Amino acid sequence: MFFCFYDIISIGGAMRIAVDKNSLEVANKTNDEYIYLFNNESYEELIKLNLHCLYYTNCKFADINLTDYDIDCIKKAKITDNDWHKLPEKVDYKIGIIVPNYNYEHTIEKCLKSILNQTYKNYEVVFIDDMSTDNSVEIANKLLKPPHKVIELKQKRLNGGARNEAYLHLSEDVDYVYYVDSDDWLYDNTVFEKINNRLQTKPDVLFVGMASYKNDKLTTCFIPQYKDKYEAIAGWSGSCGKVIKKSLATRQECLYNEGTLKEDKNQHCKICIYMNNFKLLQEPVYVWNQQNYKSITTIREKIIWGTSTIRHYADTKQLALSVKGEDPRIDRFLEKRLKLCEQELRTGGDKQY
């Protein structure tokens, strides 16, 4: 059982909270919110630092925001006060992992093993194959046993359609959805533990960090820094950059566009438009394999990339019209997106937006 108890001291003005001893310098920055978790240390000495302090026992994570728990930050409490409060018990949310695949027999084993080797076990995998002609489905069937599922599509639907179909095969008790492309893999075996820790306050979306693998080197390439939904909309649009509450991901307005290779960008916009709140996991949990010679970015000369460019423009136009007038800032952002789409149609280039 998870217990966290807190005792609060008022410092006036913006809260200054530290996560641990090494973060004291960070905690002194104006408007930063951190929490000092202490165990077997002198509470009296911590009080002298003018920090909001939490006492914890048996805590395995430190994802606590005072405002999330309606804590009265004005109240003054002393160590002698019999005024302790229990924070909510930790929940192990069930995560549905969707793995779309098409002819990735050369990478799928590494991808799936990075999932199956996770220390956190409350998850299920839906491997959804878009009519592969190689041995990737056979490899998936060898590795994935119930409750994980291997689904073979009977009609070509590309990544967006495959993900939409995968939603139909998720168990009813799945709480959140995450996407792992079959040519990529997870950063280490504690990824789901870290994700679940950050889901404790039930955000609609958890934006996560990314690393890239290129020239046989692993490099952090993206850490989310969003302050509001508008920054999020303009941010990293890849599906692998966010964990989404299932009820939001499967909402009709938020489904992927089918028949296009550029399915991520508008789905990202729709998720950000309709989410009510979000959290950040500011460290890499996913590895984007940029050495994959069969990746989508290597087939741009094919007709399907050109038709996807046309389709992406049409989908963006449809999205802009569907939400027009609801939020001026979102309207302006989508207008800018449309202009970039038009430029891409004229030049044949690929704009990453």
**More confident site: 58 or 103:** 103
Reported confidence tier of residue 291, pLDDT bands at 50, 70, 90: confident
Reported confidence tier of residue 319, pLDDT bands at 50, 70, 90: very high
Q: What is the pLDDT of residue 261?
A: 81
* DSSP structure class, residue 103: S
CB 93 within 8 A of CB 66: no
CA pair distance 178, 166, nearest whole angstrom: 11
Reported confidence tier of residue 32, pLDDT bands at 50, 70, 90: very low
Average pLDDT over residues 334-342: 93
Domain ranges of the chain: 3-69, 95-297, 305-347
Q: What is the pTM of this model?
A: 0.77
- Burial class from Cβ neighbours inside 10 Å (0-12, 13-18, 19+) for residue 206 reads buried
Q: Which residue has the tokens 């952002």?
A: 333
Q: Beta strands of 110-148 (E only): which ranges?
A: 123-129
Average pLDDT over residues 205-233: 96
Mean pLDDT across the chain, nearest whole number?
80
- Nearest Cα residue to 157 out of 239, 100, 107: 100
- Nearest Cα residue to 53 out of 2, 4, 3: 4
Q: Is the pLDDT of residue 219 over 90?
A: yes
Query: Which two three-digit tokens encode residue 350?
Result: 């690929």
**More confident site: 35 or 310:** 310
Highest mean pLDDT among 46-60, 65-79, 251-265: 251-265
Q: What is the pLDDT of residues 58-89, one digit of tens each?
A: 444 444 444 444 433 333 333 344 433 444 56
CB 240 within 8 A of CB 213: no
Reported confidence tier of residue 27, pLDDT bands at 50, 70, 90: very low
The CATH class given to the 95-297 domain equals alpha beta
Q: What is the pLDDT of residues 133-156, one digit of tens each?
A: 999 999 999 999 999 999 999 999
Reported confidence tier of residue 195, pLDDT bands at 50, 70, 90: very high
Q: What is the pLDDT of residue 6?
A: 35
The DSSP H or E segment spanning 220 is strand 217-222
CB 163 within 8 A of CB 96: no
- φ, ψ for residue 200, nearest 5 deg: -65, -25
Average pLDDT over residues 96-116: 97
Q: Would you state the torsion angle of the CA atoms of residues 282, 167, 274, 192, taken in this order, to the nearest 10 degrees?
A: -20
Q: What is the pLDDT of residue 304?
A: 75
CA pair distance 123, 99, nearest whole angstrom: 13
Q: What is the pLDDT of residues 146-189, one digit of tens each?
A: 999 999 999 999 989 999 999 999 999 999 999 999 999 999 99
